[in-house]
Structure 1
Amino acid sequence: MSASAKFDTLQRVVNGLDIGDVFALKEVFTYSQMLNQCYHSRVNPIQYLSQTFNHPLTLLSVMFDTGCIIGGPRALEFFFPASADADEWTFFVPGFKESVLDMANALHLCGVSWQTNADEILALLRRRQTATASRTVLDCLVSWIEDCGQSAAEHLVGKDLYQVLEAYQAIDINERDRANSFLIADVGSWTISVVPIPAENQGRSPAGSGKEIMTGLTGRIQTGRGPQSVRLMVGSSADGTESCMSFLREFGASHLQCYIGGWSAGHMHYQQSRSRKATLFRAWPGQKYKNCDVNIKKYKRMGFKFSRAEEEGPLTRSMKDSDSFSIDYGDLYRPFIRQSHRHLLDTWLSERRQNIDGISWTQFDGRIFSVQNVCKARYRQSHLTFASQNLDLPLDRIRRLGNLIAINIVRPDALRTEMYRSSVGPGSKSTRWQLRDLAKTGTVLNTLCDATPWSWVL
């Protein structure tokens, strides 16, 4: 067998192993250069992402810039191959305007077609002269224009949608609050009427009625294995901006509390999941886990055994303790940026590694009680934003890794695209996805904060 054939065979074997087992093999056979190469290929998420997304290096670099992570079954499959059969990808991004726009734009360039409720409503009106929409969707759309004058509002969402929202706002607020959905009609020459639908008369599901309570975008991507769903969940609420570690806490089952990020991947309960065991955590009184739709029967068929979390503690955990597992692959970007920019990458990686080292959480009374992060406490309190003080910030804070990779492309390839530009810094106006696209989703409230140089903190 040739050396090339041996390498290919070993790589196939390594690709099928749990990620911790591959790491253990590398530590034992330190002299094997071939095994070391196979290890680095296995832990590099670009290969995993390339099975679904175009330009996976561009996608990963924007996740690096924004602090976005992949969670749920798709992250679990990265650690434990063949552990997921879902056709859905779930990305989590902190609720900062620039971060959400950059991720929406990157995923769009990587093949995702986003669906917006505004487009659905307007398409139905033009085709049938009537449409229905849920109150949640209409309130979401209105949140983007309620503090704008007519001219600014029409520029943001378009004249046709503005007329719909204006008619909705004209309804008495008490009457609006009593209805779950509304009938929208073009009564002639694009004169819009919006009226509440009594609950007993509701027929076809209104736009947005089946979507999650969590704020986010939904889309689809065509792959060789057929279409797959993509969700970009946004960490934003009336209580403030949520970090991506807060998203992981919302998974009610321990085996799904794992992530793939832009510079590292981690599993909060790796050793337990490695043994195909999982803990079901208790919810707080009156709370339902936002990400609790765990198909227990499916995972039982895969060999997982479930148990209820014990009501004991407190126990403080971290991504560096013996029960969890984390890997760092931040150096993979080095060959794809100019040599003059590599000192920037070193600075950014140093900060991001401190971030992972500073993450801890407390398990108490059968629950994940809290998630602490030294970097989050230090950096999220910053009042410096790209929107207000862009010119006063040091260059290393304004520059984006996604941009550095895009401008270094001599010949386009499958890994990256020269079309990407961040909404932060020079070239921001060339991004394909703009704020007006976000405003028309009907699933993202206008509660997003302006991004800071430390919005990436997990």
Structure 2
Amino acid sequence: RLDPVVYLSSAFSYCISLIAAMADYGCVLSGSRALNFFVPGSVDETSDWDFYVNGYTSCVVGMMNALEVSGVKWADMLGDRVRELLNAEESSISIRVGEAWNAVGNPGRDTDELANFFGTLLPDALRRNIDLSRQDEFKVLKRNGDVHFIFPSRDLPETTDEENDPSIASGSDFSVLTGYLSRNGRSTKVQLIICHAYGRPQSCLQVISRFHSTPVQCFLGGFGAGHMFYDKTASKTGIIWNPKEESLRRARLRTEALNKYRTRGYDLKQQE
């Protein structure tokens, strides 16, 4: 049980190579799947595999490749979606702001149309709507040969899905690449969470240190596994850290995330 390779092999292929890549690229597994390594029974069938990697492009690409070799199929890659949009007579897609900003920094586009979209049209549209959260979504429409961007009004309530928003754990913004792992006829979500603040890369441990409560302040990486509050967590108790100022939406989702761990048997008390 204490061997990370054995633990990961329950879901992933070529786990020794995956662990080596995690060490090379500064990536760790965290969240409920890492917690389950220390305290079995902390996950259910819906639990994601959340890998955190620092925001340097080479590290992100390296971990994408390593996870793909290990069985992850990346879902709905933005370049493919935009290519289909541009090739259609009329079409529309939805894109998260964080996903869009992350794609702007990727120069690898194989057609002039794609290069123009990601190099000029998209960044210009994002700069005109700089006040949007990275979790907001906007639409891209193709009509009569022209591309149009429709951004949400700031007067509308923000909505998001906690399962797709790992920033709730730490109160930080992330870019998230989503994939799926199929094993024994069952599909499980895998997220590669790119750690940065205002575009500047952060280390994974910086992010984990700001998670909402002590049970999830743990990691499994290429250099080992660790828990910041193992004694408390082993007895299924924990502290909820007092958050900084947060929106009503984030506070609600934070509460939902905490309740998820309470239903899994954790006794969580507010920080005094």
Matches within 5 A, 1:277-356: 277-286=237-246, 292=254, 295-310=257-272
Tell me the CA shift for residue 48 of structure 1: 1.0
Partners of 1:251 and 1:292 within 8 A in 2: no
Q: Which has the larger radius of gyration?
A: 1
Distance (whole Å) between structure 2 residues aligned to residue 172 and residue 110 of structure 1 = 34
Quick one: which of 19, 23, 31 aligns to 1:60?
19
Q: Amino acid of the residue matched to residue 133 of structure 1?
A: S
Answer yes or no: is 1:76 the counterpart of 2:19.
Answer: no
Shift of 1:172: 10
Q: Matched residues in 1 for 2:54 and 2:260: separation?
A: 30
Q: Shift of the alpha carbon at 1:195?
A: 4.0
In structure 1, C-alpha distance between the alignment counterparts of 2:152 and 2:208, rounded to whole Å? 38
Which structure has more helix as a fraction of its residues? 1
1:217 is aligned, of 163, 167, 177, to 177
Among all aligned residue pairs of Structure 1 and Structure 2, give the percentage whose two residues are the same amino acid: 25
* In 1, Cα distance between equivalents of 2:27 and 2:127: 37
Query: Is 1:99 matched with 2:59?
Result: yes
Distance across 2 between alignment mates of 1:63 and 1:273: 25
User: Pairwise CA RMSD of aligned residues?
Assistant: 3.2
Q: Which segment drifts farther, 131-140 or 85-94?
A: 131-140
210-219 vs 111-120, which moves further: 210-219
Could you tell me which amino acid in structure 2 is paired with residue 77 of structure 1?
Answer: N
Aligned residue for 2:242, secondary structure, equals coil
Whether 2:139 is the aligned partner of 1:185: answer no
Structure-2 change in CA distance of 1:226 and 1:279 (3 Å): same
Whole-Å separation in 1 of the counterparts to 2:186 and 2:240 = 32
Structure 2 distance, partners of 1:67, 1:169, is 29
Q: Distance in 1 between matches of 2:217 and 2:66?
A: 25
Write out per-residue CA displacement over residues 274-310 of structure 1, whole angstroms, 9 at most, x where no aligned residue.
1111111011234769x94763344333321110012
After superposition, where does 1:369-448 map in structure 2 within 5 Å?
A: none
Q: Alpha-carbon deviations, 1:176-224, whole Å to 9, x = none?
A: 558962432152xxx4422436759x9xx9xxxx766411311111111
The answer to whether the 8 Å contact 2:30/2:216 transfers is yes
Gaps of 5+ in 1: 1-41, 146-154, 311-458
Which residue of structure 2 aligns with residue 141 of structure 1? 103
Match of 2:93 among 132, 143, 158: 132
Cα 1:260–1:220 change in 2 (3 A) is same
Q: Name which of 225, 228, 244 aligns with 1:268.
A: 228
* Cα distance, 1:195–1:218 mapped onto 2, change above 3 Å: closer
With the length of structure 2 as denominator, give the TM-score of the two structures.
0.77
Match of 2:170 in 1: none
Inter-CA distance 226–186: structure 2 relative to 1 (3 Å threshold): same
Per the alignment, residue 161 of structure 1 pairs with 114
1:194–1:109 CA distance, 2 compared to 1 (3 A): same
TM-score (norm 1): 0.48
Alpha-carbon distance change, 84 to 198 in structure 1, aligned in 2, over 3 angstroms = closer
Correspondence for 2:70: 110
Q: Which residue of 1 aligns with 2:84?
A: 123
More strand by share: 2
Question: Is this contact kept in 2: 1:95–1:234, CA < 8 A?
Answer: yes
Counterpart Cα distance in 2 of 1:79 and 1:172: 42
- Cα pair distance change 1:144/1:293, threshold 3 Å: farther
Q: Deviations over 1:156-188 (max 9, x none)?
A: 3533323434444666964x558962432152x
The one-letter amino acid of 2:263's match is R
Tell me the amino acid that sits aligned with residue 258 of structure 2. I
Distance 2:126 2:181 in 1: 40
Per the alignment, do residues 249 and 122 of structure 1 end up closer, same or farther by CA in structure 2, a change over 3 Å counting? same
Gap runs ≥5 in structure 2? 168-172
Rounded Cα–Cα distance in structure 1 between residues aligned with 2:123 and 2:223: 45
User: Taking structure 1 as reference, are residues 276 and 45 closer, same or farther at Cα in structure 2, changes over 3 Å only?
Assistant: same
Q: 1:130 to 1:70 in 2, by over 3 A?
A: same
Inter-partner Cα distance in structure 2 for 1:299 and 1:197: 35
